[in-house]
């Protein structure tokens, strides 16, 4: 008799994927958490066979580490589909094939998930939330948490369903054709555009100095720097900080440098508040 996973088991498997680091250790990293997430699936496929359940779960104890909040859910989705086929007699699906697929995908998928979450959503949503908070509204952090979680759940559930419905051929085809790399590049460009806008609008650095030549005055900020390129000074400061980060200067040292430079240059009359 054919056994079929229902939406109940799939939802449990998907939800428990978020407990991947609940049993985190440096020998197997997320393996135990992933094994726990597969329990509802294995119980459904082998309902009255405890020994078989234990045997099938043991293959999930091997080292495993990936980004599981956004793109990483595609892997348990594929694994669930393969387990279902295996339980129904698919001879070409073995323990080794499931383990090999999970091990082979965890690296590329981690790169995708980390790029989406840390390289795209964090800067975009964080920038918007900070802009709201700077205006004195408490909605900023609430906005970030709610919208971030909505994006996370929508993306991860979509990836999980695609993994389960399309199987391993789906993700392997996307990797082979470079589709994922192209999408990642597009989203990264959008993230950089947002960061650029934030640099121009939120990094407030001006030079109030006005040079006088007999009866003529020359405002350094408005008549020189802004004439060359509006936002040139904020861009320069941002690139300087970026250079320090690339040089692996401690973030606390960078903050102290900014504080010290701001205080000293303002006291000297070189820097001032924007009018």
For the question of whether the overall pTM of this predicted structure is more than 0.85, the answer is no
In this predicted structure, the answer to whether residue 45 has a pLDDT above a threshold of 70 is yes
In this predicted structure, the answer to whether residue 42 has a pLDDT above a threshold of 90 is yes
Averaged pLDDT for residues 244-267: 89
Output the pLDDT for position 22.
81
pLDDT, tens digit (0-9, with 9 covering 90-100), for 141-157: 999 999 999 999 999 99
In this predicted structure, the answer to whether residue 257 has a pLDDT above a threshold of 70 is yes
Output the pLDDT for position 132.
86
Break the chain down into helix, strand, coil percent, rounded to 5. 70, 5, 25
pLDDT, tens digit (0-9, with 9 covering 90-100), for 181-212: 676 666 667 667 767 776 777 777 888 777 77
d(Cα 52, Cα 42) in Å, to the nearest integer?
9
d(Cα 191, Cα 126) in Å, to the nearest integer?
11
With 0-12 CB in 10 A as exposed, 13-18 as middle and 19+ as buried, what is 208? middle
The separation between CA 203 and the C-alpha centre of its own chain, rounded to angstroms, equals 24
């Amino acid at each position: 008799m054919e056994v079929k996973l229902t939406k109940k088991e799939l939802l449990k498997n998907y939800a428990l994927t978020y407990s991947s680091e609940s049993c985190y250790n440096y020998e197997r990293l997320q393996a135990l958490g992933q094994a726990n997430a597969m329990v509802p699936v294995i119980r459904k496929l082998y309902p009255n066979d405890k020994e078989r359940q234990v045997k099938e779960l043991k293959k999930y104890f091997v080292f495993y580490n990936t980004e599981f909040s956004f793109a990483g859910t595609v892997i348990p989705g594929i694994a669930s589909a393969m387990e279902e086929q295996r339980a129904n007699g698919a001879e070409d699906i073995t323990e080794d094939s499931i383990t090999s697929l999970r091990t082979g995908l965890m690296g590329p998928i981690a790169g995708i998930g980390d790029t989406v979450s840390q390289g795209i959503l964090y800067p975009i949503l964080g920038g918007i939330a900070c802009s709201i908070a700077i205006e004195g509204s408490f909605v900023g952090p609430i906005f970030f948490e709610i919208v971030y979680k909505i994006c996370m759940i929508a993306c991860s559930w979509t990836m999980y369903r695609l993994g389960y419905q399309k199987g391993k051929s789906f993700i392997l085809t996307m990797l082979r054709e470079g589709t994922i790399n192209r999408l990642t590049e597009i989203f990264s460009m959008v993230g950089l555009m947002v960061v650029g806008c934030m640099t121009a609008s939120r990094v407030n650095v001006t030079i109030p100095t006005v040079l006088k030549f007999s009866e003529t005055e020359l405002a350094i900020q408005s008549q020189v720097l802004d004439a060359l390129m509006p936002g040139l000074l904020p861009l320069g400061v941002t690139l300087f900080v970026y250079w320090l980060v690339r040089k692996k200067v401690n973030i606390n040292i960078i903050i102290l440098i900014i504080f010290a430079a701001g205080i000293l240059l303002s006291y000297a009359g070189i820097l001032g508040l924007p009018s």
